[in-house]
Structure 1
Amino acid sequence: MESNAARLCKLRALGVVEKYMTARSDLGIYNNVAVTAWYTYTRTSSMSYGNVNLRTALFNAIATVISQHPILSAIPLGTNTLTPYFAHLPSIDLNQVITFIRIPNLYVHSEGEDKSSHGRSPALDRFIQEQHNRPFAYTQPLSPFWRVYILTDENEDEHTSDESKGQFVLSFFFHHCIADTKSALVFHQSVENALAHPNRESQENSDGIVRTMEMDLLPPLDDFLDKGSPSLITRSMDQEQHAQPQSSSTNTNTWTGPAQVVPVTTKFRSLRASSITSSKLLETGKKRGLSLTSTLQSMLAAALFECLPPQYTSIKIDCAVSLRQWLPTPVTETSMGTFVDIFGETYSRESEQATFSWDDARRTQRAISNVMQRRKGDELWKTLMQVENGDLKAWLQGKLGHSRVCAMELSNVGKLPKPASPTRESKGYEYQIEGLLFSQSAGACSAAIKVSAVTGRDGCLTLGFSWQEGVVDDKMVERVICELERIVKETLQESEQGDRRKPLLTTN
């Protein structure tokens, strides 16, 4: 690998957040992230180019996407030093990074729902769990730190009687040093657009080898911060040190789960709300001036409290935040890179009977509004910049064996935007993303339970629960999920009853 790497062109040094991501993976603390999407395709013209060939269509589409986003042809090197960097891969073998798999019972429809919706698939959960336990590694020849899986249901015939339409699942797994979850949505949108509008003049070679152009990468997050971007306010060192959370070990009433340990084996379970439930949950919060994130995070806190022994009266939940909306050009909403921060909120209960409280949701919303106003979270990058000698691996290793700070982490990447309208010249098949599922590895030096949220174009909110085997019991997570479902159901019922009790407006 070293001889191959030495011949690669150096693009730029890793930023501090990117270094943090590679340090975690090198130490086996955290592996990868994924966004899985359900795609449908429909023949739109009698002049289509024969029956759809998924392999050809997807190889060509992903080759196009690689040409649009230079980070997809970059690989981190020198990660065992204090000066890691991105290098350019002059070619990518799509046969190495794209895998087609047929899985039994992949498409599971929830009872009583429209067949166009996609219910939880235990088979898909098992597959995702398996892939989150596969770290990226340096191969011969070198491959990028991302991979794509095209999944179809083994129980469905490859050639149905109606070849004018079909469906498949595309799972995009990636190393966190090259992309955040917003970037994964950009990837899927780019694939969708490339499928709908194939570029037949610049397709990949028949052998699946894509020759890539050497292009500049977007600057790392800390480049914007070092330049004193007016959109990102800084605080003094004294304020920053004062803002650092105290160790949870000093408070025996705070639950954070067992100590931070390796190795990490990820367990995963998804939860999908119907489009009706998702819409009601969003609207119920909106009536109170609350975002879906503030409502969901407070409900998760109540659900977790229900599963904890009574001596624990406090928990902290971290919430991820995307900074890209406040960064100057060249970063845009369609960029791929790592532009994230995080902030924490503490929740308490006064009795054994933990209940969801709209007051907690309003307090959480105030914290979110504060983040939006300040255009930053708790400044993870600043903490990383203060690490002695910049040795993030030593810093992370020093955390192992000690208490965690957070019980849970919520990452809500939002809803996938609507696709661009197809052009009149578009012939063949129209591809459409419907449902989405966001998932990630468990982490040794982070919250005991990670919850990843996303809403697809089908209107369904899906949650991916990740936890570390041996750190959090499987049955406990199942209880948290059951309690969350109960809280959502009861809250929506109470809200509907309250609406019905409201008197009609009258005029004198």
Structure 2
Amino acid sequence: MDVAAAQDIPGTIRPVGSSAKFNTSRHHLGLCRCVVLTGHYAVSHQSTLAGAKDGSSVRDAVVKALATVVSQHPMLRVGIVGEGSAEPVYIHLLSIDLRQVMQWKEFNGQDGDDYTAFLLHSVQAQHDQVWEHLDARPAWKIIVHQPSSVPSQAPGIVHLDISFAFHHAIGDAESAVIFHRDLLRALNGARPPQAAPALNDHILALKSQAHLPRPLEAIVPLNISWLYLCAFILLRVWSKLAPSRLKSKDPWTSKNVSIKTFKTNLRLVHVPYRTIASLITTCREKGTTLTPLLHGLILASLSNRLRAIPANAFCANTPISLRRFAAPDFNRQDTIHCLVTAHSFLFNTEFVSEFRKASKNNSESMVWRAAVDLGKNLRSKVARLPRNDQMGLLGWVSDWETFWLQQIGKPRKDSWSCSNAGSLGASDAGSLEGDRAHSGRWGIERLIFSQGALPMGSTFNVNVVGVQGKSLSITLSWQDTILDSSLMDGLAEDLQTWLDQFGKSGSFGLSAQ
């Protein structure tokens, strides 16, 4: 389908744009299925939800709040047509049946750990699904998980874990945080300035066509210089034609790209607020931030758990939000959209070798050194943005299907990716402490951010998100069969142990390995 044909599709709003084709093409081939942000919501039984304490009142509240949020955000009110074509488009949906985009799951057990396993299993299953009927349905859904009774929960409080799953072509991780913030506001009675949503028996009528934000490339000035373009082309040619003895060692990326399975595996690390506050303070003192520090800890774990051959170097990828570079007419705090690039940093053979040789008493300082080095490199990249960035080259790709399929059987570029979605502010998250526990107001106690299997992406993904004043969650995800589960279990155990130890003593305790 070309541009002219795309415009003839009934209800067409606009082409998705060159940057979004990156994600529509991946989804069409099953290579990137969805992103999920799960919020743990809580409200007291004394709430005014239809004057009742049964599940139906809670469901009614969530349905009405969801309708309000959908009415606020244009990207939630569109379908996608022609994902496999040269010019996919966003189309106007006349209505959304909320029963088709909502799923309720109840946990009948009593154990908190069992509930966490139930929740992760549910999210894993969603990551394995593709979006269907996008010409008639939106590319998102929510899954509401409701524990019947878990001993660790306070009495008189209703708890829900609401997972917002979405197609990457309509939003990014920050968009998902915005979604949960606005859903919480709607649950607490806030109403947007526009007219109330036209909701009748779960059918949300969308009378007016969504006014979508412009494509990324029209919002962010992605200027590409001829020098950058020539250097990019020469580097590609060199990587293919240069003799192996002159090339740098490839970083560890486990097995080559495969599309035999798209099953996702997840592991979760929970970090309490007290530990996070201490970590952030120490990061500032050492001139770095939390994301580079997590990269350093991941490096420490893998360097210890993998043999030097073939794991003699690692490449760490960090997604970067482009919202700060958006045009003034783009509302970066309140708009659901996908505005992301990424940057890779190589822990080369020399550094990794030095890391492995470090004495037990010196290993912790090596973690901080890695964090500082990566942090400086990342700040340098951000200082150059948005000029001369890879996102500015996406418009040059004429055949995305060929682009992706020709990577099958080849090594990946990055060992891992660490994506930090930031934190939901304390005022936005609310609280059920003190008098608020009897006020009938909802609060968000925790967020969990996860990505599905990415066969053409990094070997594994690390997703980070927090709720200010409450906790931070770190999720590990990887494509089934690409990695040994014992390695990822070990990484999750290392991160949990080291972060817990830091919360107790101000040290990761690496010397005790």
SS at match of 2:163: strand
Counterpart CA distance in 2 for 1:161 and 1:455 is: 21
Counterpart CA distance in 2 for 1:416 and 1:287 is: 24
SS at match of 2:462: strand
Aligned to 2:78: 74
Within 5 Å, give how 1:4-403 maps onto structure 2.
Answer: 8-42=10-44, 49-51=50-52, 53-105=57-109, 108=112, 121-138=116-133, 142-155=136-149, 165-197=157-189, 199=191, 202-212=196-206, 213-225=208-220, 236-241=228-233, 254-262=251-259, 263-311=261-309, 312-328=311-327, 329-347=329-347, 348-350=351-353, 352-353=356-357, 355-356=363-364, 357=366, 358-376=368-386, 379-387=389-397, 390-403=398-411
Structure 1 residues 237 and 102: alpha-carbon distance in aligned structure 2, compared to 1, 3 A threshold: same
Counterpart CA distance in 1 for 2:411 and 2:49 is: 60
What amino acid sits opposite 2:180 in the alignment?
Answer: H
What amino acid sits opposite 1:76 in the alignment?
Answer: I
Task: After the TM superposition, list the runs of 4 or more consecutive aligned residues in structure 1 that deviate by more than 6 angstroms.
Answer: 232-235
Q: Deviations over 1:344-367 (max 9, x none)?
A: 011131154574521111111102
SS at match of 2:84: coil
Counterpart CA distance in 1 for 2:225 and 2:388 is: 11
Structure 1 residues 253 and 82: alpha-carbon distance in aligned structure 2, compared to 1, 3 A threshold: closer
Aligned to 2:435: none
What amino acid sits opposite 2:282 in the alignment?
Answer: T
Deviation at 1:418, TM superposition (A): 3.0
Aligned to 2:470: 459
Gaps of 5+ in 1: 110-118, 499-508
What amino acid sits opposite 1:324 in the alignment?
Answer: R
Counterpart CA distance in 2 for 1:377 and 1:408 is: 25
Counterpart CA distance in 2 for 1:236 and 1:373 is: 16
Counterpart CA distance in 1 for 2:439 and 2:159 is: 15
Q: Report whether the alignment pairs 1:432 with 2:430.
A: no
Q: Which range moves more in the overlay, 171-180 or 342-351? A: 342-351
Q: Would you say the 8 A contact 1:16–1:381 is kept in 2?
A: no
What amino acid sits opposite 2:396 in the alignment?
Answer: Q
Q: Report whether the alignment pairs 1:408 with 2:405.
A: no
Deviation at 1:289, TM superposition (A): 2.0
Structure 1 residues 142 and 207: alpha-carbon distance in aligned structure 2, compared to 1, 3 A threshold: same
Deviation at 1:253, TM superposition (A): 5.9
Q: Would you say the 8 A contact 2:103–2:142 is kept in 1?
A: yes
Counterpart CA distance in 1 for 2:439 and 2:64 is: 14
Q: Would you say the 8 A contact 1:218–1:331 is kept in 2?
A: no
Structure 1 residues 125 and 13: alpha-carbon distance in aligned structure 2, compared to 1, 3 A threshold: same
Q: Which range moves more in the overlay, 273-282 or 430-439? A: 273-282
Q: Would you say the 8 A contact 1:261–1:400 is kept in 2?
A: yes
What amino acid sits opposite 1:365 in the alignment?
Answer: G
What amino acid sits opposite 1:484 in the alignment?
Answer: L
Counterpart CA distance in 1 for 2:448 and 2:107 is: 17
What amino acid sits opposite 1:22 in the alignment?
Answer: T
Q: Would you say the 8 A contact 2:222–2:392 is kept in 1?
A: no
Q: Deviations over 1:63-83 (max 9, x none)?
A: 111111011011111112101
SS at match of 2:165: strand
Q: Deviations over 1:339-390 (max 9, x none)?
A: 0000001113115457452111111110221133223497232332232xx1
Q: Would you say the 8 A contact 1:258–1:471 is kept in 2?
A: yes
Deviation at 1:484, TM superposition (A): 2.6
Counterpart CA distance in 1 for 2:191 and 2:173 is: 26
Percent sequence identity is 22
Aligned length: 471
Gaps of 5+ in 2: 1-6, 431-437
Q: What TM-score comes out, normalization by structure 1 length?
A: 0.84
What amino acid sits opposite 2:324 in the alignment?
Answer: Q
Structure 1 residues 223 and 235: alpha-carbon distance in aligned structure 2, compared to 1, 3 A threshold: farther
Q: Would you say the 8 A contact 1:438–1:452 is kept in 2?
A: yes
Counterpart CA distance in 2 for 1:383 and 1:154 is: 50
Structure 1 residues 421 and 307: alpha-carbon distance in aligned structure 2, compared to 1, 3 A threshold: closer
Counterpart CA distance in 1 for 2:154 and 2:298 is: 45
Counterpart CA distance in 2 for 1:367 and 1:255 is: 20
Structure 1 residues 227 and 367: alpha-carbon distance in aligned structure 2, compared to 1, 3 A threshold: closer
Structure 1 residues 242 and 206: alpha-carbon distance in aligned structure 2, compared to 1, 3 A threshold: same
SS at match of 2:142: strand
